[in-house]
Structure 1
Amino acid sequence: MLPFGALVIVVMALRKHPMTSIDTVGSYLDQMDIPAWRFFPMVGSTNDMALNWAKQGAPDWTLVVADAQTTGRGRAGRHWITEPGCALAFSLVFRLSPDEVAYYARLAALGGLGLIYALEGLGLRGSLKWPNDVLLSGAKVGGVLVESSWLADQLEAAVIGIGVNVSFGSVPPAEELRYPAIDIQSALGEPVDRWSLLAQIVHGLRKYRNILAEDAFVAACNQYLSWRDEWVRFQRPGEQPQRVRIIGIMSDGRLSVETQDDRKFDVLNGEIIMRDD
């Protein structure tokens, strides 16, 4: 059952943004060379739907997309509500090849690079905020969540979930945000078609998945990395924030940083809190 607070938010949003019909979305999805797709006017979590479908045998590049998402989640279990008509919420099933499995840690960056590719098509410069966000003009425009389906110790499928703030109304009130956020329409100064944007993100994902196992992929991550060679406040789980300089993203997806006393280390878990000028 939908939590009362989420239900109120969605009902209010529906008054401003009527839900999109499957016919509208289907005409775009049929042109994306997607082997299987499902569209939901409203869903709890597209990642949950994609994971369940993966367990039932959904093929590589299967897509689940929703107009509204009521119990979406981000990194560290944070909740995210996608209101209808103003954002993108979708998940893709990846059946990784044996060669790709070794680079599973790169999938969050892959999702980010796919979105950055689409932003560049609109004339906007996005950047990767390690480990799983995309920034536009220094504010969060999208996020990535990677989850998996396992059979014993064998990876069955990976699911890449991507959420994008597309138009007015997709950014929550400032008091609900942990980090400044922005929508593409505000940055661009004109409306953006969500489904054309989705097609471009998928195109970008295909481009960068083709080089997932190559050094060129890591080079692309560092090319778009936010605050590279700059000082930020960084916090690892259970520790106090500290001031570090970002060196770059390593081949295994870890972030390499340097402290003020010249100590260098690589981190797998943690969060960049803000730029530290």
Structure 2
Amino acid sequence: MQSELRKRLIEAFTDAGGEFLSGQHLAEIAGCSRTAVWKHIEELRKEGFVFEAVKRKGYKILQTPEKVSADEISLGLKTAFLGRTIHYEESVSSTQKIAHRLVTDGVSDGTVVVAEEQTSGKGRMDRQWHSPKYSGVWMSVILKPNLPPPRAPQLTLVAAVAVVQAIEELTGLMPQIKWPNDILVGGKKVTGILTELQADSDRIKAVIIGIGINVNQQYEDFPEELLHTASSLAIESGKPISRASLIQSVLSRLEKLYITYLQNGFHPIKLLWESYAISIGKNIIARTLTGEIKGKALGITEDGVLMIEQEDGAVRQVYSADILLEND
């Protein structure tokens, strides 16, 4: 009964062609109360439908869920090896967990895990990453470089540049990177990157790069505690973004930058990363596990380590920290 009612509501909005439908009209079509209409619309929101609600006009559907299939991603993908094997999941606890399991099973270099939803997505320092269904890009990329483990963190910065370039290409927005792995638009976070390893003491077995991009969320999709710090590409650009196209662009740019990195080292990536960095030349606060470091961000070393010049002229190297601009 419930699924049939919701089907009628969706058909009504489809037939309306983008026009508003009153709650009373929807109730008559669905054969239920206006309160029931509201409840079903809220359920549809949770599944990825985007509505505009206006008093005395009713509801208008702005966007339907866009599922991203492996076939859709592969169809327009222009890479040699990255994403040529795609593991698609409707809902997972974490794409990183799936990727770790696949590495153990011997999956090929360049394999990508894509999910519509993560129920336990995480970022740096085991912080929760909000990953609702049908609204973002939640994926993990498996790379198997012939590199020593200490160089693995550089790949986080390679991935950050790739994501920035892909967002620029598809949206026209001007994203910036906050060291080491946050991508901001309009001062709000739209992307997080988490790099994890499977390695022996002297060699990398696999680098797993988790990428979470807020794509088509609206304000009401974010928990209240994130409203002032997080945003989405749709909010910032004012239009919905094709998630499949974004995945294709990220993978294409990541492959090119990764090959450049393997052939020419980190320096070309370093220059690109610094050109997108929000904090270079600005006074920042680095909150580390042992305390705060204040000073001017000079840039990053050839190892990807952040350099901060303190008031006394001493330059500190920061390997892990939360970064705040002093005017934040």
Answer whether TM exceeds 0.5 for this pair: yes
Residue among 65, 70, 74 paired with 1:29: 74
Give the alignment's TM-score, normalised by structure 2.
Answer: 0.74
Give me the whole-angstrom Cα distance separating, in 2, the residues matched to 1:275 and 1:204.
32
The 1:216–1:249 alpha-carbon spacing in structure 2 relative to 1, beyond 3 Å, is: same
Residue among 255, 275, 294 paired with 1:223: 275
**Conservation of the 8 A alpha-carbon contact between 2:86 and 2:113:** yes
**Conservation of the 8 A alpha-carbon contact between 1:233 and 1:276:** no
**Conservation of the 8 A alpha-carbon contact between 1:93 and 1:158:** yes
Give the alignment's TM-score, normalised by structure 1.
Answer: 0.87
**Conservation of the 8 A alpha-carbon contact between 2:154 and 2:303:** yes
Which digits, 9 at most, give the CA deviation of each residue in 1:77-105, with x for residues without a partner?
1011311111110001001124x766322
Amino acid in the other structure paired with 1:113: V
Q: Trace 1:1-277 onto structure 2 (pairs within 5 A).
A: 13-14=46-47, 16=49, 21=67, 24-32=69-77, 33=79, 34-98=83-147, 103-121=151-169, 122-151=171-200, 154-169=203-218, 172-176=222-226, 180-212=229-261, 213-239=265-291, 241-276=292-327
Give me the whole-angstrom Cα distance separating, in 2, the residues matched to 1:79 and 1:186.
22
The 1:88–1:52 alpha-carbon spacing in structure 2 relative to 1, beyond 3 Å, is: same
The 1:238–1:101 alpha-carbon spacing in structure 2 relative to 1, beyond 3 Å, is: closer
* Bigger-Rg structure (1/2): 2
How many residues align? The count is: 265
The 1:208–1:269 alpha-carbon spacing in structure 2 relative to 1, beyond 3 Å, is: same
Give me the whole-angstrom Cα distance separating, in 1, the residues matched to 2:197 and 2:138.
18
TM-aligned CA deviation for residue 189 of structure 1: 1.3
Which digits, 9 at most, give the CA deviation of each residue in 1:172-218, with x for residues without a partner?
234247x7111101111111011101111111101211222241111
Mean Cα deviation higher: 191-200 or 29-38: 29-38
- Which has the larger share of helix? 2
Amino acid in the other structure paired with 2:272: A
Amino acid in the other structure paired with 2:153: A
Which structure has the higher relative contact order (CA within 8 Å, separation 6+)?
1
Alignment root-mean-square deviation, CA: 2.5
Amino acid in the other structure paired with 1:150: A
The 1:52–1:11 alpha-carbon spacing in structure 2 relative to 1, beyond 3 Å, is: farther
Q: Percent identity?
A: 25
Partner of 2:313, secondary structure, is coil
Give me the whole-angstrom Cα distance separating, in 1, the residues matched to 2:295 and 2:44.
43
Amino acid in the other structure paired with 1:175: E
Which digits, 9 at most, give the CA deviation of each residue in 1:8-48, with x for residues without a partner?
xx9972274786556x4422234424331111110000011
- Which has the larger share of strand? 1
Give ranges in structure 2 of 5+ residues lacking alignment: 1-42, 51-63
**Conservation of the 8 A alpha-carbon contact between 2:48 and 2:134:** no
**Conservation of the 8 A alpha-carbon contact between 1:133 and 1:144:** yes
TM-aligned CA deviation for residue 168 of structure 1: 2.4
Which digits, 9 at most, give the CA deviation of each residue in 1:138-183, with x for residues without a partner?
1111000001113565421010000001012486234247x71111
**Conservation of the 8 A alpha-carbon contact between 1:95 and 1:156:** yes
Partner of 1:205, secondary structure, is helix
The 1:102–1:234 alpha-carbon spacing in structure 2 relative to 1, beyond 3 Å, is: closer
Partner of 2:90, secondary structure, is strand
